[in-house]
Amino acid sequence: MQQPNILLTGTPGVGKTTLGKELASRSGLKYINVGDLAKEGQLYDGYDEEYGCPILDEDRVVDELENQMKEGGVIIDYHGCDFFPERWFHIVFVLRTDNSVLYKRLETR
């Protein structure tokens, strides 16, 4: 049977990257951080002056991931989720953290 694809999503600072890497090291599944993938491949579509960050080219990210997702066994880490095809994932985890904890984490970041 094909290995499952897992989506870890949720607000920045909730622990997606920490959990995703830990899960990958224990399960042997492949961990992919979409932010890093976009940076490496420059999968951007302009720059958001208001937020001071590049705008993700969602279509190119989906194209880039398609073959690996078809194969299975991938853990995806990203704070957004609406542009991913539903068919990719066997299970989706939305991580949450108490706002007071989250505030301190993002402040130190």
Ligand X SMILES: Nc1ncnc2c1ncn2[C@@H]1O[C@H](COP(=O)(O)OP(=O)(O)O)[C@@H](O)[C@H]1O
Contact residues: ligand X, CB under 6 A: 12-18, 105
Q: Could you write out the DSSP letters of every residue in 70-94?
A: HH--EEEE-S--TTS-GGG-SEEEE
Determine the residue type at 64.
E
Cβ proximity to ligand X, 70 vs 105, nearer residue: 105
Q: How far is the CB of 45 from Mg ion (least distance, A)?
A: 21
**According to DSSP H, which parts of the chain are helical?**
16-27, 34-41, 58-71, 99-108
Instruction: Pick from 3, 11, 17, 27 the residue near Mg ion by CB under 5 A.
Output: 17
CA distance 73 to 30: 6
Contact between 11 and Mg ion per CB under 5 A: no
Is 27 a binder of Mg ion (CB under 5 A)? no
Beta carbon nearer to ligand X, 18 or 25? 18
Compute the residue count for the chain: 109
Comparison of 39 and 105: residue with beta carbon closer to ligand X: 105
By a kind-dependent CB cut-off of 5 to 8 A, residue 105 interacts, out of ligand X, Mg ion, none, with ligand X
